[in-house]
Amino acid sequence: MVQFSREGIPGAPADVLKAYETRLTAQGLTPRQVQTRLQTIRQYATDHPQDATRLHFNRIYTWADAPFTREPSAVVRKVAATRKPGKALDIAMGQGRNSVWLAKAGWTVTGYDVSDEALRQAQAAAAKAGLTLESTLASHDDFPLGEPQWDLIVMSFAFTKLSDAAYMQRVHDSLKPGGVLLVEGFHGGPRPDANPNEILKVFLLHYRVLLFEDLPDIADWGLHQAPLLRLALERLR
């Protein structure tokens, strides 16, 4: 399965639970009491996945030392600078690091995220810069991508599943012909039991490949070296 995973990076849910387990143990709770609390959290996350995700990312975005860069993505700047500004969609926009840069560069920017705290910070950053952003609290499933309307769609550390054919078809269909889909995030890299070019097969018939990179680098999210995938794809029709 081709996807971007949150596990194994600083701030992932498993890391948060591990830190909480250590804290509870240090407070003197017995192992049984600790596991009871952790199981309650896991069950809540299972029963209310979207709300649990919102709370998780709200906590990250209020953490002063959270390990992610506040600067716009280098690949977003590189690719967007080659295009005539138009309508841009920032998927999982976070604090708006890419949205604000795009708006400064003349793009009309819309974004969405599951974290209301992230959207609040994005709007505050835009207001400080004298810019306007349209932002919506929504998940990947909820946000209406619409018919062809976007000149640029940014998926930078958006934690989307590229193997989700229905979602990726919605993304494709919402791009204008000639519009660009920019993808950046964690990637497992080639596996012995998989074709290393599997990701290209997903896109080749529908896009012109402008940029393709599958190399380890310092990740904007996590700030550590990891296998990263970067793609810029132009819709053909």
Express each pLDDT in 14-44 by its tens digit: 666 777 788 889 999 999 998 988 888 778 7
- Collapse the DSSP code of 96 into the 3-class scheme (helix H, G, I; strand E, B; otherwise coil) and give the result: coil
Q: Is the pLDDT of residue 55 over 50?
A: yes
Q: Are strands 87-91 and 108-113 parallel, antiparallel or unpaired?
A: parallel
Cα(38)–Cα(183) distance, integer angstroms: 34
> Residue 13 — pLDDT band, cuts 50, 70, 90?
low
Is the confidence at residue 129, as pLDDT, over 70? yes
Half-sphere exposure of 24 (CA within 13 A, CB side): 16
Type of residue found at 95: Q
Q: Is the model's pLDDT at 91 over the cut of 60?
A: yes
pLDDT of residue 237: 82
What are residue 141's DSSP bridge partners? Answer: none
Q: State what percent of residues in the chain have pLDDT above 90.
A: 54
Task: Note the pLDDT tens digit of each residue in 131-188.
Answer: 999 999 999 999 999 999 999 999 999 988 777 888 989 999 999 999 999 999 987 5
Higher pLDDT, 223 or 204: 223
pLDDT for the residue 3? 34
Q: What is the pLDDT of residue 61?
A: 85
Of residues 37 and 52, more confidently modeled:
37
pLDDT at 226 over 60: yes
pLDDT at 15: 64
Average pLDDT, the chain: 85
Where do the structural domains in the chain lie, given as residue ranges?
13-61, 74-235
Fold of 74-235: Rossmann fold (3.40.50)
* Residue type at 115 in one-letter notation: S
**CA-to-CA separations, 164 to 17, 23, 93, 101, 199, in angstroms, rounded:** 27, 37, 20, 29, 12
CA distance 144 to 171: 10
Are 226 and 219 a contacting pair, CB within 8 Å? Answer: yes
- Lowest model confidence (mean pLDDT) among 22-26, 49-53, 89-93, 133-137: 49-53
And the tokens for 179? 């519009």
